[in-house]
Structure 1
Amino acid sequence: MKKAFIFLFILFFPFSLTADESRLRVVYGNLDFYVPNNPLLIGYLGTDSEILIAKYSVEPGKNIVGFSLDKEINTGGCSPEVFFRSVLGKNEAGCDIRAIDSFRYVFMRNRDSGVWSGSDKDFFYFIGPDKSTVFMTQNNNDNETFKIESNFLSKEKIKDIFSSHL
């Protein structure tokens, strides 16, 4: 047990965690996010995608919030911000229409979608009853896209994750 604790502590060293009464502050790289308090498990997979997961249920695959750096998204030849705005609207702005249609098929069917904008970040949300995904772009970095996923949080709770940026 002692070895497991030390191993987990070493894995999470690059991240900072603090808590208030209802939320846990996660400093992910140079970004602050607030997830619900008292996760059962927090895991970090130090791959190129920098995956961080908070789990709130003992049931496999249930009640998860995940953060990752999304390097695989096909933006149809556009910057991520232009691509997501094109997905949400009817204007393709020079993006590959097949990439837009494919994204819409995967992320917009039976989901509420839109954008939350902060001073230097945009959060493109695709929220459904069983899976929700938010893509975050930074206005000063057109090539970096973060993906946040959850399979249990409401739209309000998901928006609350980004409260320090909105």
Structure 2
Amino acid sequence: MSRLLFILFGMLIFPMSVLSDNSSVKFIYSGFDFYIPGGASIIGTKGGRENFTFFRYGSNNGKEFLAFSDISKDDTIEYGCDVQEFYAQLAGRSSSNSCSQSEIASFKKYFVGNSDTGEWSNTDFTSYYFSNNEHSFLFVFKDDKVIKIDSDFMDKNELKRIISQYVD
């Protein structure tokens, strides 16, 4: 019994020690391998319809966070087109007008604004980023998966490091 408790205690301590420095940590989420900064002070997750995981890197509630959400099956938004096409239009990477223009206008207010926008991709992976001084978003597409990554302290280069396995 004491050996089992020792092993369980070790399993709890080991992940914290891995995340305690500033090195990059491999985070496997929804079938993707992401590389996130070490040193998170709090880690939280919620499954089900609101499938997300977050990391907090500071001591202030709601600040210095990195969050991952699997929005592959989110049917609360009426895109009016394929979800990847929607975010391509939002990022200015598609000239098509096939998506719901009212949704595009609404999303532009929140995601685009004064943000730097762009795309990182390869043959089977695409991502669109929206980054400014206050908030950064990255939408990742591969096969039938859509992952939203957002942070209030990372810039676009730091977001790109998260997906470094997939893009140059």
Judge same fold: TM > 0.5, yes or no. yes
Higher strand share: 1
Contact 2:22 2:37 in 1 (8 A): no
The one-letter amino acid paired with 1:62 is K
2:81 pairs with 1:78: yes
Task: State the Cα deviation string for residues 41-75 of structure 1 (Å, max 9, x = none).
Answer: 11111232321111100111111000011215635
Aligned mates of 1:42, 1:120 — CA distance in 2: 30
Does the CA contact (< 8 Å) of 2:67 and 2:149 recur in 1? yes
Tell whether the 8 Å contact from 1:132 to 1:149 is kept in structure 2 after alignment.
yes
Deviation of 1:21 (Å): 6.8
Q: Which has the higher helix share?
A: 2
CA deviation map 1:95-128 (0-9, x unaligned): 1211111111111001111111133121110001
The answer to whether the 8 A contact 1:111-1:126 is kept is: yes
Contact 2:34 2:162 in 1 (8 A): yes
Which secondary structure state, in structure 1, belongs to the residue aligned with residue 49 of structure 2? Answer: coil
Task: Name the structure 2 match of 1:88.
Answer: 91
CA contact (8 A) 1:75 1:83 kept: no
Q: Which amino acid aligns with 2:77?
A: N
Max radius of gyration: which structure?
Answer: 2
CA shift at 1:158, angstroms? 1.0
Alignment TM-score, normalising by the size of structure 2: 0.79
Equivalent position of 1:154 in the other structure: 155
Per the alignment, residue 101 of structure 1 pairs with: 105
Instruction: Give 1:165's aligned amino acid.
Output: Y
Between 85-94 and 122-131, the greater mean CA deviation after superposition: 85-94
Distance 2:122 2:49 in 1: 26
Partners in 2 of 1:21 and 1:101 — Cα distance?
38
Task: Report the identity percentage.
Answer: 28
The one-letter code of the counterpart of 1:88 is A
The answer as to whether partners of 1:130 and 1:152 remain within 8 angstroms in 2 is yes
Q: 1: distance between equivalents of 2:132 and 2:30?
A: 27
The number of residue pairs the alignment matches comes to 152
The residue aligned with 2:136 is 132
Instruction: Tell me the TM-score normalised to structure 1 length.
Output: 0.80
Q: Within 1, Cα distance between the matches of 2:114 and 2:53?
A: 26
What are the equivalent positions in structure 2 for 1:1-166 lying under 5 Å apart? Answer: 22-70=23-71, 71-72=74-75, 74=77, 76-89=79-92, 91-138=95-142, 140-141=143-144, 144-166=145-167
Kept after mapping to 2: 8 A contact 1:123/1:135: yes
> Match for 1:159: what amino acid?
K
Matched residue of 1:59: which SS?
coil
